[in-house]
Amino acid sequence: MPELPEVETIVRALRPTLVGKTILSADVLWARTLATPSPSAFVKRIKGQQIETISRRAKFFNLQLSTLREPHLCLPVLAARPGRHWRRQGKPFNLLIHLRMSGDLLVKEGAYTPEKHNRLVLTLSDDLSLVFNDPRKFGRVWLTANPDEVLGDLGPEPLDPSFTPQAFYERLHGRRRQLKTLLLDQTFIAGLGNIYTDEALHMARLHPLAQSDSVTPERAEGLWRAVRAVLEEGIRSNGASIDWVYRGGEFQNHFRVYGRDGEPCPVCGTKVERVVIGQRGTHFCPRCQPLKGD
């Protein structure tokens, strides 16, 4: 599953191409891709919308759309400039997309014929198409005027300036949970997944089974710095390209422990171990990351 750096990389690639484009039509090829609204309502509401901004929240893409939907006759304007005039109606729509396990967003030029694993195709102005491809069908799309209905329960962004070491320490001590499962909880901190959690815990020299409320202020700050460091390095490397459809990343060439079970730890040379925690494969160095009491 793509994590924060992979999603951020795709957002940065899409932004210069798609911002300002108008959505001319939509082709919903698999109805369950849409979490909301229904396919018929989606097609009707999104037609004619303009993509104003593209951003990221956690692992979600957020395409904010215009609301230039209905013609409006304004007599003073018509007198000076005859023709159809448009006005904004209500709140703007947001198109939210989560890639989940195998989703991908592709921009195609020219006439486009949908392919086998395409689930949604948006035909855009300037002879472009935005294609949501998803072989495993886990990805989801929302068209909503209230994005908080989808994003409201997410935790803080780990790279946001307001996310301080003290705030992180307080959040760790506000819950008594194993570090690995807590860091994966999107309501605790937004955007981390299996790869960057393992990498951050190793950098901070903390065992993935350590209890969150046992972490000292000093160790909490070390983990805070490690989380930010691995995410920033992941973004600089355009994410990681491993066993899914995301392409072009290089962070996999810099993994410290993730996916390296049986290989030597880059710090001490001890063999990296793999265990399953919360149904997720977890990689760590038993020497660099001792569990208290072992």
C-alpha dist (Å) from residue 188 to 69, 70, 177, 242, 279: 38, 41, 11, 26, 18
Determine the 3-state secondary structure of 273 from DSSP: strand
* Cα distance between residue 4 and residue 230, in whole Å: 11
The secondary structure of residue 254, as a DSSP letter, is G
Point out which residues pair with 55 in neighbouring strands. 62
Point out which residues pair with 61 in neighbouring strands. 56, 97
How do strand 140-144 and strand 273-277 relate by DSSP bridges? unpaired
Whether the Cβ atoms of residue 101 and residue 243 lie closer than 8 Å to each other? no
* Cα distance between residue 225 and residue 290, in whole Å: 19
Whether the Cβ atoms of residue 18 and residue 210 lie closer than 8 Å to each other? no
* Cα distance between residue 58 and residue 155, in whole Å: 9
* Cα distance between residue 280 and residue 267, in whole Å: 24
Give the closest residue to 22 by CA, choosing from 126, 151, 140: 126
Residues identified as active-site: 2-3, 59, 280
Point out which residues pair with 281 in neighbouring strands. 276
Output the CA angle 4-9-12, nearest 5 degrees: 125
Whether the Cβ atoms of residue 129 and residue 123 lie closer than 8 Å to each other? yes
Whether the Cβ atoms of residue 132 and residue 118 lie closer than 8 Å to each other? yes
